[in-house]
Amino acid sequence: MSKIRILFFTNNFKRTGSEVVLFNLISKLDSALFQIGVIVLSEEGELINELPSHITYHHLKTKYTLLNKVQHYFGEDLLLSQLKIIQKENRYSVWYINSLSPTYILKYARNFNLKTICHIHELASNYSYITSEVFELILKSNLIIACSQLVHEEISRVHNGHLEIVNSTIDVDFIDKFNLSSIPTTNNDEIIILCAGSVSYRKGTDIFIQVANKLIDKKIKFIWVGQLSNTGYSSWIEKTHKSITNSNVEFIIPKNQKEYYTLIKRSSVYFSTSREESLGLTMLEAIYLGKPVIALNSGGASLLIDNTNGLLINSSNINSISLKLDDFIQNKLESFNSSLNHSVFDKYNHLREFNNWQNLLKKVAL
């Protein structure tokens, strides 16, 4: 049997949720059954260099020469021209678009005899960032994959085609390779509250800083693991942070995955301040590493958090959030039993979800 030829489009392959989910999935695909290509449509992230050697990475030209600009002036679509070359050389039969950001690429699929799959990781509020034309192309895909039950419920209201759930999961075997079990949690007299994610309004970085400021006299250290971006929001966060005298918040950008997981392992509590989550992979990572998770009810958090692994906060009021976090630290943290919190992985099992996903790819392609 000839190989199934699939070209995956994703935003950047940085270490963010939807990118890591795709990376973990395609890295496990059987190279004897699949010929795999990857294209990123934004800046190139660090995961590209970690792709298995049998996966072809196609570099797209984004800096154009004077000749290219002249060609564009006279009506040539430079992106389409590159895609035609890639298709001619590799004969991909399926285009797989990961997350909403790259879905504009669907307009080029009509130029080729192929099938399309869209993997949606976002809730409906993010549909505001794509055009109605692109949304219609998503709905016409041969398969739409929802990353969680919440995403599935929203899409199913308007879609009568092939729609499936492949729950986003974490690769616990990958985490286990770092041998983190010997790393101790911080000293008993030091409490570290940690959150990980890009600095953004959706992730609630401003909430994190405000809650930390409310508990500044409690000798609690707050750590945000993630990068500032070139946005007005990040600039506002940076200036807000600097304006607080003796701030108890520290921003850390880990050098690699081991450092990232080590920071979580050494923390006392994982504190998710997301305003919206379709699921929440960082919360799953924290649960796996034995941390209690205190989370705002962002949607996805309700799928993961119960009284065995943390606390769900149904409030957006900073005073109320601060009081609930402080109460957990003072009265429940010491008695928290991390051995109880792994039942969530009975549902969010990486190997089972991968096998389901791989079978879906075969059904669409054949």
Decide: 112 and 87 in contact? Cβ < 8 Å.
yes
Question: Mean pLDDT, to the nearest integer, of 25-38?
Answer: 95
Identical fold for domains 4-169+349-365 and 173-346, yes or no, is yes
User: If DSSP codes are grouped into helix, strand and coil, which group holds residue 188?
Assistant: coil
- Angstrom distance (rounded) from CA 201 to CA 197: 11
What single-letter amino acid sits at 219? K
Question: Mean pLDDT, to the nearest integer, of 112-123?
Answer: 97
Distances (CA, A) of 41 to 24, 122, 210, 328: 19, 18, 35, 43
Over residues 313-324, the pLDDT tens digits come to 999 999 999 999
Across 45-49, 192-196, 253-257, 340-344, the highest mean pLDDT is recorded for: 192-196
Decide: 224 and 249 in contact? Cβ < 8 Å.
yes
- Angstrom distance (rounded) from CA 39 to CA 228: 25
User: If DSSP codes are grouped into helix, strand and coil, which group holds residue 286?
Assistant: helix
- Angstrom distance (rounded) from CA 143 to CA 145: 6
Instruction: Dig out the tokens for 193 from the structure.
Output: 């509250």
Whether the per-residue pLDDT at 242 is higher than 90: the answer is yes
Whether the per-residue pLDDT at 341 is higher than 80: the answer is no
Partner residues linked to 204 by β-bridges? none
- Angstrom distance (rounded) from CA 64 to CA 173: 42
Give the chain's mean pLDDT: 92
Rg (CA), the chain: 22
Instruction: Dig out the tokens for 232 from the structure.
Output: 């007005």
User: If DSSP codes are grouped into helix, strand and coil, which group holds residue 193?
Assistant: strand
Helix H or strand E encompassing 359:
helix 350-365
Superfamily of domain 173-346: Glycogen Phosphorylase B; (3.40.50.2000)
Whether the per-residue pLDDT at 327 is higher than 80: the answer is yes
Superfamily of domain 4-169+349-365: Glycogen Phosphorylase B; (3.40.50.2000)
64 vs 242, residue with greater confidence: 242
What are the extents of the domains in the chain? 4-169+349-365, 173-346
Lowest-pLDDT range, 60-64, 199-203, 291-295, 308-312? Answer: 60-64
Whether the per-residue pLDDT at 71 is higher than 70: the answer is no
Over residues 92-108, the pLDDT tens digits come to 999 999 999 999 999 99
Helix H or strand E encompassing 311:
strand 310-313
156 CB-near residues (< 8 Å, 6+ apart): 163
Q: How confident is the model at residue 255 (pLDDT cuts 50, 70, 90)?
A: confident
* Distance, C-alpha 126 to centroid of its chain: 14
Burial (0-12, 13-18, 19+ Cβ within 10 Å), 115: middle
Q: How confident is the model at residue 63 (pLDDT cuts 50, 70, 90)?
A: low
What single-letter amino acid sits at 247? S
